[in-house]
C-alpha cells in the first residue's frame, strides 16, 4: 500500500463500524471509518472520540443477502463473500463484502497462525459510489473489504405517516367521506399499516396467485393507507392501475411489486442492490418496527414478526478476527458506549488487545504512515507504561535506541533548528539538512553532537534516509574532522593515521566517515602523505608536504598566483645564504611550482555557457559579495554602461575653478572627491571592458575599484582601524556584510554624512525614513577662495596597496549593498560634468535622469495643506512589516496618510518617476534600549509588473483630484487596517525574540507550559506529598497556558485573514489605474543574520526572457518560481533591494548580455590584459612601475607582463 495513510486492524474497523453514524458525520468533521482519529493531546481537554448522538449499533443479519463459506471451509478466490446487516435501533443498513484479490503474488492472507501478521490491517483505498473500499496493508495478503452503508428504506417521516394516531384518524374520516356507508366503522390501529405493508411485501417476494393486487377502495386499505401514502408505496415498487371487474366496471387497484427472482449469493453480481434487496431491506425494517409494539397489540398479525439474529459473529469471521489474543484479565467490551484510550484508536487497535497484538498494530501504522511515526511511538510508549507491560516497555526502549522518538522530542528537535514544528512537514529534507550544515562551522564539537542528535530525531520521525545519513556522516570542516578523531591542530599526520586505524577497528561501519575526515584534513593541510594513504592504504615516508613548502619559502597566501621566475630567483638568494639546506629548498620550490601549476590548470576549465551568450561572473576579492551584486546590476543598465565606456566625454575636469558651483547632494564636493570619482569611473570602465571582451566566464575586479567603491569621502580609513569594532565583527574578524537600510524602533540611528544617496530627509517625521535629502531647504553658500596661482597638473591616481585594501575592507564592514550603491551614485555625480541644473542648483547628470524620482511631501493641519516640499531621491525605502505582504502594500504605507504630530498629518506623491526605480527594504532593525540589531525576515511579494499610478500626482487617465479621491478611499481602508494591526499586535507580540525574529504570544505560552512541566520533573529530592501537589499545580498551570495559546491562535489567524482581505481591497482601489507600468528587473538578495551573511542578485534578461542568479563567480539561469519563492527556514534569503524599470524602456535601458569577444584570445582588448585563466584578474597600475597612464589604461601592459 502507498505510504502516508494510516490504517486500522480488523477489530478496530469493526468497532468503528458499530459507532459510525452517517447522520452526524458533518458535525464531527470526519468520517469515522475512513479518517484517522485526531491526535491525542495529553495536556488538552479530553473529548469523546465518538459523539454521544451517534447510534451504538446493534447489527442484525439479513440472512437472504449474506454469503459466507461453510463451517470449516476457507475463503476462496474469486468468490465475493458478504455479511448483510441492519441496525435494529436506527434501521440503517451495513453490508460488508470481502474477497481475495486477483494479485497472484499475494497468496497468504493474514491469520492468527502467522506471528508477523496475525490480523488484517486495513487501509482505506478509496470509495466506489456509496461503497468504501479497504485493503489489507500486508504485502502478501490479498484481502480486500467493501463496506456499503445505506439509510433506511422507510424514513422516520414514513413511519410517522403510517403509525401516527392523529394522522390515522384524519385518514379514516377521509375514507368515510369517499366510501360513505361502505366505509369501515372504526379507525385503523397504529400497528395495522406496518403489519399490512409487511404482508404485501412478503407476498411480492413469494408470489401467490390471487394476491398480486389490492383494490384502492378496499375498506381496510382505504382507512389504513388512503391516498396520502402513495409516495411510500411507489418507492417500494407498487404500481397504480385500473381494472375491469366482473360487471365491466372500472376499478382502481394497487399492484404489488414484482421483484426479480433471488440470485445465488455466491455470485458477486448478486451483491449489487436491486428491487428485490430494497424490498427485503424494507421487510427487515417493518419486522423490527412490529417488535417495538407491545405484545397485546401485535396479536393475530398477518405475518408474525421474527426475532433477528446478531450479525457480529459473521462480521468477525469475514474480517478474520474471531479469536484474536486478548489482554489477560480483560474481556471484550459488552457495550459500544465504552471508549478505549485515544492512543488505541491512533494505533488502529482496541483496548482488549494482547501486548503482542498492540505491538503489531504499532508496526503496521509506522509502516503505512511513517510521517506520524513519532505520534505512534508516543502512543505505544504511554500504553506500555499504563499496562505495566515488560514486553512493551522493552520494545519501547529498543525502539528509542534505534532513533525513534515521541512528538515532544521531535518538536524540540525542530525548534533547535529554528523550525516551527507545526510547519515541519512543509520544509523539505534538503532544506533541513542545509540548516544543519550551516550551523556546523559556527558551533563547538559538543554543540555539533547535540545538533546531530536533533537531526537524527527529525530523520527518524520523517523516515528520511537523507537526513539520517547527514546526521551520522556529516563532516564538513577541518575542525569537525579533527574533532571526530579527538585531535587538535598541532597533531602530526602520523597520529591522524593512527586514530583512523583505531576508529575503524572499533567500528568498521564508520570507515566511510573516517575516510571523509582524513580527506578533509589532507586537503586542508595539503598533506601528500595523507593523500597517498587514502589512495594506497600506506603512509609514505616523512616527506615535505605543500604546506611545509610554502611555509619554508615564506609565502603566507597559498591561494595567490605567483611569478615562478621571481620565486626561483628568491630561492637562489636563500640558497646562497643557507647552502647546507639546498636539498630542502629545492624540494620546497618543486612542490610550490607544482601546486601553482595545478591551480592554474584547475582554473582553465571551459565556460559553462558559450561566452558570447552569457554574462561574466565576478570573483569575490574580499568580503565584498554585495559590491559584486551592485557591479553586475550597473553593467546591465545600458545607458550608464555606455557612458562609463565612453567616460572621457563626460568626466569632470579636476580643478578648483572647474568644480566651482558644482553641487552634489546639497554641497560642493571636494577636489579629492572629484578625483576619487574620476578614478572610480576609469577603473569601472576597465572592468566593463573586461566583462565584454574576456573569453572566460569569470573575471577578478581590480582592488582600486573595490577600494573606491567602498570608500566614502568623510570616512578616515586610518582612524577606522583604531575605532571600536563594528557590529559585523567577532573578536576582530570580519564575518560578513551588514544588512541594508536601517529602520529604528523607538530611536533614530546615527545619521550618515550627506551624499547624493544617503541622507535622511528632514521633512520625514517618520524615524524609519530612508528618503534622500530635501533639496528645497536653505543651503549655505560655500565658494572656494580665488586661486593665487595656476592650477596644478592633475596628479596620477594613487596606487592602491594591499594595506589600503585591508583598510577599505575594514570600512566595508559597516556598509551594505544599498550604501555601496549610494556611494557609487555619489562618485558618478562627482566624476561627471553637469548636464544642467535641477532644483536648488543640484547637478543634473545621467544618474539623476536614470534613477532619481521627484517626490513631494504634503503636510495637512486642521484639514488644510500647510506645506508642500519636493525632493529628488534615488531610492524609495519601504518597511516589510512582520508578515508576508506585497511590495505595493509596503509602498502604500510610505506614501499614505500618517500622523506626524497631534493634529498634523502628511502624505506623499511622485511628480516625476525615473526610468529605473530602486526600492530598498529596511531589514536591519534596532530596538530602543538595546545595543543589538536584528533582521526583519518578512517576505515581500513582488509583482512582475507594478503600476505606479497610485503614487503619482496625476496620470494620463486621472487628474490630481480624481487620484486624490481614490487616495481618500484607500486611506479610510488603511485606517481600518491599522486598527486590526494594533489588535493583532496586542494578541501576538511579546517583546521576546529568537534569531532576530519576534516570538508570538501563543508560542511563549506553549514554551512556558513546557518549562513548567520540565521544572516539576527536575526536582527529584522533593517530598512525595510535595511532588504530588506540585505536579497537580503544574499540570493545571500548563493546561491553562496551553488552552490560552489555543484560544489565541484562531483569533490571530482570523485577524490576519481579515487584514489580508483588507489589503487586497486596498490594492484593488487602483485596479484600473495602469498608465505607468514598471517591470521587475533585479532583486538584491541576502542570506544570513543581522551582522553577517552573503549577497547575490537576481537579474531579468528582457531580451532573452530569462532570469539569472549572479552569485560572485557563478551566473546561472533560474526559474521565475525560484526568484519569487519564499522558503520557510532559519535565516532565509530575503530581498533587500528591488529594481523596476519602466515598461516602455525595458528593452532599451537594460541589456544583461553584452559580449564582444575578439577572435584571438591574445588580443582581447587594447585596454585590458587577459592571462588565459578562467578567473581573469584586473591588474593594478602599481604592477607596471612608471608606465604613463592614457585614459586611465596602462599603456604597454602586454609587453611588461611578458618580461
* HSE toward the beta carbon, residue 822, CA cutoff 13 A: 30
Domain span holding position 518? 477-528
In 3D, which of 380, 388, 384, 341 has the Cα closest to residue 362? 380
Q: Give the residue from 602, 617, 652 where a domain finishes.
A: 602
pLDDT one-digit tens code per residue, 660-704: 899 998 888 999 999 999 999 999 999 999 999 999 889 988 888
Cα separation, 632 vs 618, in Å, equals 8
Mention every residue, 6+ apart, whose C-beta is less than 8 A from residue 104: none
3-class secondary structure, 860: strand
In 3D, which of 1065, 853, 1040, 1085 has the Cα closest to residue 975? 1065
User: Are both 560 and 503 inside the same structural domain?
Assistant: no
Beta strand 742-745 pairing with 924-927: parallel
What pLDDT does 161 receive? Answer: 95
Cα separation, 698 vs 690, in Å, equals 10
User: Are both 82 and 163 inside the same structural domain?
Assistant: no
pLDDT band at 790 (very low <50, low <70, confident <90, very high): very low
What is the number of residues in the chain?
A: 1203
In 3D, which of 51, 37, 38, 55 has the Cα closest to residue 91? 55
Mention every residue, 6+ apart, whose C-beta is less than 8 A from residue 446: none
Is the CB of residue 521 less than 8 Å from the CB of residue 482? Answer: yes
- What sign for the dihedral angle of Cα 177, 183, 184, 189? negative
pLDDT one-digit tens code per residue, 944-987: 999 999 999 999 999 989 998 998 998 888 888 888 888 877 77
Indicate whether 451 pLDDT > 90: no
Residue 793, CA distances (Å) to 655, 804, 827 in order:
9, 25, 21
User: Are both 109 and 177 inside the same structural domain?
Assistant: no
Q: What angle do CA 1013, 1019, 1024 make, to 5 degrees?
A: 100
Average pLDDT (347-359) is: 94
Q: In this structure, is residue 810 part of a structural domain? A: no
**DSSP class of 1168:** B
What pLDDT does 649 receive? Answer: 93
Helices 312-319, 10-17: crossing angle, 10 deg rounding? 150
Cα separation, 1143 vs 1077, in Å, equals 6
User: Are both 518 and 564 inside the same structural domain?
Assistant: no
In 3D, which of 825, 832, 790, 845 has the Cα closest to residue 655? 790
The lowest-confidence range among 664-678, 843-857, 1125-1139, 1161-1175 is 1161-1175
pLDDT band at 359 (very low <50, low <70, confident <90, very high): very high
Q: What angle do CA 155, 161, 167 make, to 5 degrees?
A: 160
What pLDDT does 308 receive? Answer: 94
61, 66, 67, 72 alpha-carbon torsion, rounded to 10°: 10
Q: In this structure, is residue 973 part of a structural domain? A: no
Is the CB of residue 770 less than 8 Å from the CB of residue 922? Answer: yes
CB atoms within 10 A of CB 1042: 20
Cα separation, 654 vs 213, in Å, equals 119
Indicate whether 758 pLDDT > 50: no
Cα separation, 225 vs 233, in Å, equals 9
Q: In this structure, is residue 37 part of a structural domain? A: yes
User: Are both 168 and 241 inside the same structural domain?
Assistant: yes
User: Are both 93 and 144 inside the same structural domain?
Assistant: yes
In 3D, which of 1135, 1004, 1000 has the Cα closest to residue 1055? 1000
Indicate whether 499 pLDDT > 80: yes
Average pLDDT of the residues of the chain: 79
pLDDT one-digit tens code per residue, 1-50: 444 689 999 999 999 999 999 998 877 778 899 988 989 888 777 778 88
Bridge partners of residue 453, in order along the sequence: none
- DSSP calls for 870-912: EEEESEEEE--TTS-EEHHHHHHHHHS-EEEETTEEEEEEEEE
Mention every residue, 6+ apart, whose C-beta is less than 8 A from residue 729: 735, 813
Residue 90, CA distances (Å) to 58, 590, 631 in order:
9, 95, 78
Number of H helices and E strands in the chain, helices first, is: 39, 38
User: Are both 138 and 205 inside the same structural domain?
Assistant: no
Bridge partners of residue 135, in order along the sequence: 123, 144
Number of domains into which the chain is organized: 5
Q: In this structure, is residue 147 part of a structural domain? A: yes
Cα separation, 202 vs 196, in Å, equals 10
Q: In this structure, is residue 52 part of a structural domain? A: yes
- What sign for the dihedral angle of Cα 737, 740, 744, 749? positive
pLDDT band at 782 (very low <50, low <70, confident <90, very high): very low
User: Are both 294 and 197 inside the same structural domain?
Assistant: yes
Q: Give the residue from 558, 587, 602 where a domain finishes.
A: 602
Bridge partners of residue 268, in order along the sequence: none
User: Are both 286 and 214 inside the same structural domain?
Assistant: yes
User: Are both 56 and 148 inside the same structural domain?
Assistant: yes
Cα separation, 861 vs 903, in Å, equals 6
Cα separation, 604 vs 584, in Å, equals 31
Q: In this structure, is residue 116 part of a structural domain? A: yes
Q: Report percent pLDDT > 90 for the chain.
A: 35
320: alpha, beta or left, given left = phi > 0 and alpha = psi -120 to 50? left
What pLDDT does 493 receive? Answer: 79
In 3D, which of 63, 56, 55 has the Cα closest to residue 309? 63
3-class secondary structure, 37: coil
What pLDDT does 1201 receive? Answer: 34
What pLDDT does 794 receive? Answer: 40
Q: In this structure, is residue 655 part of a structural domain? A: no
CB atoms within 10 A of CB 982: 10
pLDDT one-digit tens code per residue, 523-535: 888 887 788 888 7
pLDDT band at 781 (very low <50, low <70, confident <90, very high): very low
Mention every residue, 6+ apart, whose C-beta is less than 8 A from residue 482: 488, 489, 491, 521
User: Are both 222 and 269 inside the same structural domain?
Assistant: yes
Q: In this structure, is residue 641 part of a structural domain? A: no
Radius of gyration of the chain (CA): 42
Indicate whether 474 pLDDT > 80: no
CB atoms within 10 A of CB 1083: 26
pLDDT one-digit tens code per residue, 903-953: 888 999 999 999 999 999 988 776 554 545 678 888 999 999 999 999 999
Cα separation, 768 vs 876, in Å, equals 12
In 3D, which of 372, 458, 445 has the Cα closest to residue 414? 458
Cα separation, 80 vs 263, in Å, equals 14
Residue 596, CA distances (Å) to 572, 602, 964, 1200 in order:
19, 10, 68, 21
Q: What angle do CA 616, 619, 624 make, to 5 degrees?
A: 120
Cα separation, 1122 vs 502, in Å, equals 46
What pLDDT does 11 receive? Answer: 96
Indicate whether 768 pLDDT > 60: no
- In which element (H, E) is residue 257 found? none
Bridge partners of residue 742, in order along the sequence: 924
Dmax (CA) of the chain: 148
pLDDT one-digit tens code per residue, 37-80: 989 888 777 778 888 889 999 999 999 999 999 888 888 888 89
Cα separation, 227 vs 171, in Å, equals 9
- In which element (H, E) is residue 1110 found? strand 1106-1111
User: Are both 290 and 321 inside the same structural domain?
Assistant: no
Indicate whether 517 pLDDT > 60: yes
Bridge partners of residue 124, in order along the sequence: 134
Q: Give the residue from 1051, 1068, 1085 where a domain finishes.
A: 1068
Record the pTM. Answer: 0.45
Bridge partners of residue 699, in order along the sequence: 618, 1176
Indicate whether 993 pLDDT > 80: no
Helices (H), 989-1128: 1001-1017, 1024-1068, 1120-1124
Better-scored residue on pLDDT, 399 or 883: 399
Cα separation, 909 vs 922, in Å, equals 20
Q: In this structure, what are the phi and psi dihedrals at residue 28, rounded to the nearest 5 degrees?
A: -80, -20
Amino acid at each position: 500500500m502507498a505510504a502516508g495513510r494510516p490504517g486500522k486492524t480488523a477489530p478496530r474497523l469493526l468497532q468503528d463500524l458499530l459507532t459510525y453514524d452517517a447522520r452526524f458525520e458533518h458535525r464531527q468533521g470526519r468520517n469515522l471509518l475512513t479518517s484517522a482519529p485526531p491526535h491525542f493531546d495529553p495536556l488538552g481537554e479530553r473529548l469523546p472520540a465518538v459523539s454521544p448522538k451517534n447510534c451504538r449499533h446493534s447489527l442484525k443479519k439479513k440472512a437472504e443477502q449474506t454469503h459466507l463459506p461453510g463451517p470449516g471451509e476457507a475463503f476462496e478466490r474469486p468468490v465475493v463473500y458478504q455479511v448483510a446487516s441492519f441496525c435494529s435501533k436506527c434501521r440503517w443498513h451495513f453490508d460488508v463484502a470481502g474477497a481475495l484479490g486477483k494479485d497472484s503474488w499475494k497468496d497468504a492472507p493474514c491469520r492468527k497462525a502467522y506471528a508477523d501478521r496475525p490480523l488484517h490491517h486495513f487501509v482505506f483505498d478509496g470509495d466506489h459510489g456509496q461503497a468504501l473500499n479497504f485493503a489489507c496493508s500486508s504485502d502478501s495478503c490479498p484481502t480486500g473489504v467493501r463496506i456499503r452503508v445505506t439509510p433506511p428504506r422507510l424514513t422516520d417521516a414514513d413511519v410517522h405517516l403510517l403509525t401516527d394516531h392523529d394522522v390515522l384518524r384524519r385518514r379514516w374520516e377521509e375514507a368515510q367521506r369517499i366510501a360513505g356507508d361502505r366505509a369501515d366503522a372504526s379507525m385503523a390501529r397504529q400497528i395495522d399499516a406496518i403489519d399490512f405493508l409487511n404482508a404485501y411485501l412478503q407476498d411480492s417476494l413469494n408470489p401467490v396467485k390471487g394476491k398480486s393486487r389490492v383494490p384502492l377502495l378496499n375498506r381496510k386499505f382505504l382507512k389504513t393507507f388512503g391516498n396520502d401514502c402513495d409516495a411510500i408505496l411507489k418507492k417500494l415498487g407498487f404500481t397504480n392501475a385500473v381494472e375491469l371487474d366482473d360487471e365491466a366496471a372500472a376499478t382502481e387497484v394497487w399492484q404489488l411489486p414484482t421483484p426479480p427472482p433471488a440470485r445465488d449469493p455466491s455470485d458477486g453480481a448478486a451483491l449489487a442492490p436491486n428491487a428485490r434487496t430494497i424490498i427485503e431491506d424494507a421487510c427487515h425494517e417493518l419486522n423490527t418496527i412490529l417488535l417495538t409494539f407491545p405484545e397485546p397489540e401485535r396479536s393475530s398479525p398477518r405475518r408474525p414478526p421474527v426475532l433477528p439474529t446478531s450479525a457480529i459473529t459473521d462480521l468477525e469471521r469475514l474480517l478474520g478476527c474471531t479469536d484474536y489474543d486478548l489482554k489477560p484479565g480483560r474481556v471484550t467490551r459488552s457495550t459500544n458506549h465504552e471508549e478505549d484510550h485515544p492512543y488505541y484508536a491512533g494505533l488502529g487497535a482496541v483496548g482488549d488487545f494482547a501486548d503482542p497484538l498492540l505491538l503489531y498494530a504499532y508496526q503496521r501504522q509506522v509502516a503505512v504512515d511513517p510521517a506520524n511515526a513519532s505520534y505512534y511511538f508516543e502512543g505505544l510508549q504511554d500504553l506500555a507504561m499504563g499496562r505495566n507491560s515488560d514486553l512493551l516497555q522493552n520494545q519501547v526502549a529498543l525502539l528509542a535506541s534505534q532513533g525513534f522518538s515521541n512528538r515532544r522530542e521531535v518538536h524540540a528537535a525542530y525548534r533547535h533548528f529554528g523550525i516551527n514544528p507545526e510547519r515541519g512537514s512543509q520544509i523539505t529534507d534538503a532544506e533541513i539538512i542545509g540548516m544543519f550544515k550551516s550551523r556546523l562551522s559556527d558551533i563547538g564539537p559538543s554543540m555539533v553532537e547535540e545538533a546531530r542528535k536533533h537531526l537524527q530525531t527529525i530523520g527518524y520521525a520523517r523516515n528520511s534516509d537523507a537526513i539520517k545519513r547527514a546526521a551520522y556522516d556529516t563532516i564538513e570542516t577541518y575542525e569537525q574532522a579533527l574533532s571526530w578523531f579527538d585531535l587538535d591542530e598541532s597533531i602530526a599526520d602520523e597520529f591522524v593515521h593512527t586514530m583512523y586505524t583505531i576508529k575503524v577497528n572499533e567500528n568498521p561501519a564508520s570507515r566511510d566517515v573516517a575516510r571523509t575526515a582524513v580527506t578533509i584534513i589532507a586537503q586542508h593541510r595539503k598533506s601528500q602523505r595523507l593523500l597517498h594513504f587514502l589512495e594506497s592504504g600506506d603512509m609514505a615516508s616523512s616527506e615535505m608536504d605543500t604546506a611545509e613548502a610554502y611555509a619554508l619559502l615564506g609565502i603566507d597566501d597559498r591561494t595567490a598566483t605567483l611569478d615562478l621566475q621571481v620565486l626561483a630567483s628568491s630561492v637562489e638568494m636563500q640558497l646562497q645564504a643557507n647552502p647546507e639546506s639546498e636539498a630542502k629548498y629545492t624540494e620546497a620550490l618543486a612542490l610550490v611550482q607544482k601546486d601553482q601549476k595545478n591551480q592554474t590548470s584547475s582554473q582553465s576549465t571551459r565556460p559553462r555557457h558559450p561566452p558570447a551568450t552569457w554574462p561574466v561572473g565576478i570573483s569575490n576579492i574580499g568580503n565584498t559579495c554585495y559590491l559584486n551584486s551592485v557591479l553586475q546590476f550597473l553593467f546591465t543598465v545600458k545607458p550608464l554602461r555606455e557612458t562609463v565606456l565612453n567616460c572621457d566625454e563626460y568626466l569632470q575636469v579636476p580643478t578648483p575653478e572647474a568644480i566651482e558651483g558644482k553641487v552634489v547632494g546639497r554641497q560642493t564636493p571636494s577636489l579629492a572627491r572629484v578625483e576619487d570619482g574620476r578614478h572610480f569611473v576609469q577603473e569601472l570602465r576597465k572592468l566593463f571592458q573586461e566583462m565584454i571582451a574576456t573569453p572566460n566566464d569569470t573575471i577578478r575586479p581590480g582592488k582600486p575599484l573595490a577600494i573606491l567603491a567602498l570608500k566614502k569621502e568623510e570616512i578616515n580609513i586610518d582612524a577606522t582601524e583604531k575605532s571600536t569594532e563594528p557590529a559585523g565583527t567577532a573578536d576582530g574578524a570580519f564575518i560578513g556584510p551588514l544588512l541594508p537600510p536601517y529602520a529604528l524602533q523607538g530611536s533614530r540611528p546615527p545619521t550618515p554624512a550627506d551624499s547624493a544617496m544617503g541622507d535622511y530627509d528632514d521633512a520625514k517625521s517618520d524615524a524609519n525614513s530612508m528618503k534622500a535629502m530635501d533639496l528645497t531647504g536653505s543651503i549655505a553658500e560655500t565658494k572656494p577662495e580665488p586661486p593665487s596661482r595656476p592650477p596644478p597638473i592633475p596628479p596620477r591616481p594613487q596606487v592602491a596597496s594591499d594595506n589600503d585594501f585591508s583598510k577599505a575592507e575594514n570600512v566595508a564592514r559597516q556598509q551594505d549593498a544599498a550604501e555601496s550603491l549610494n556611494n557609487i551614485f555619489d562618485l558618478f555625480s562627482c566624476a561627471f560634468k553637469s548636464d544642467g541644473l535641477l532644483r536648488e542648483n543640484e547637478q543634473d547628470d545621467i544618474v539623476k535622469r536614470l534613477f532619481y524620482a521627484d517626490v513631494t511631501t504634503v503636510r495637512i493641519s486642521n484639514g488644510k495643506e500647510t506645506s508642500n516640499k519636493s525632493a529628488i531621491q534615488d531610492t524609495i525605502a519601504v518597511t516589510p512589516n512582520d508578515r508576508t505582504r506585497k511590495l505595493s502594500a509596503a509602498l502604500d504605507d510610505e506614501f499614505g496618510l500618517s500622523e506626524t504630530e497631534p493634529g498634523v498629518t502628511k502624505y506623499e506623491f511622485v511628480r516625476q518617476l525615473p526610468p529605473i526605480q530602486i526600492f530598498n527594504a529596511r531589514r536591519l532593525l534596532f530596538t530602543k534600549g538595546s545595543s543589538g540589531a536584528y533582521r526583519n525576515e518578512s517576505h515581500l511579494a513582488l509583482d512582475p509588473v507594478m503600476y505606479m499610478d497610485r503614487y503619482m500626482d496625476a496620470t494620463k487617465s486621472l487628474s490630481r483630484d480624481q487620484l486624490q479621491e481614490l487616495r481618500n478611499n484607500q486611506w479610510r481602508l488603511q485606517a481600518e487596517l491599522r486598527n486590526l494591526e494594533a489588535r493583532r499586535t496586542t494578541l501576538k507580540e511579546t517583546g521576546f525574540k529568537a534569531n532576530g525574529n519576534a516570538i508570538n504570544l501563543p508560542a511563549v505560552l506553549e514554551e512556558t507550559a513546557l518549562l513548567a512541566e520540565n521544572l516539576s520533573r527536575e526536582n527529584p529530592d522533593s517530598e512525595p506529598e510535595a511532588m504530588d501537589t506540585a505536579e497537580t499545580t503544574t499540570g493545571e498551570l500548563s493546561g491553562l497556558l496551553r488552552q490560552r495559546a489555543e484560544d489565541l491562535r484562531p483569533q490571530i489567524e482570523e485577524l490576519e485573514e481579515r487584514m489580508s482581505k483588507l489589503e487586497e481591497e486596498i490594492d484593488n482601489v487602483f485596479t484600473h489605474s495602469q498608465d505607468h507600468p514598471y517591470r521587475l528587473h533585479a532583486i538584491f538578495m541576502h542570506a544570513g543574520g543581522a551582522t553577517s551573511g552573503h549577497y547575490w542578485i537576481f537579474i531579468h534578461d528582457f531580451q532573452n526572457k530569462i532570469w539569472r542568479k549572479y552569485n560572485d563567480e557563478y551566473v546561472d539561469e533560474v526559474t521565475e518560481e525560484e526568484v519569487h519563492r519564499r522558503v520557510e527556514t532559519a535565516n532565509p534569503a530575503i530581498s533587500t533591494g528591488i529594481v523596476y524599470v519602466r515598461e516602455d524602456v525595458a528593452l532599451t535601458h537594460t541589456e544583461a548580455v553584452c559580449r564582444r569577444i575578439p577572435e584571438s584570445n591574445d588580443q582581447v582588448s587594447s585596454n585590458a590584459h587577459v592571462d588565459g585563466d578562467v578567473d581573469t584578474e584586473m591588474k593594478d597600475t602599481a604592477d607596471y612601475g612608471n608606465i604613463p597612464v592614457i585614459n586611465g589604461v596602462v599603456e604597454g601592459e602586454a609587453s611588461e607582463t611578458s618580461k
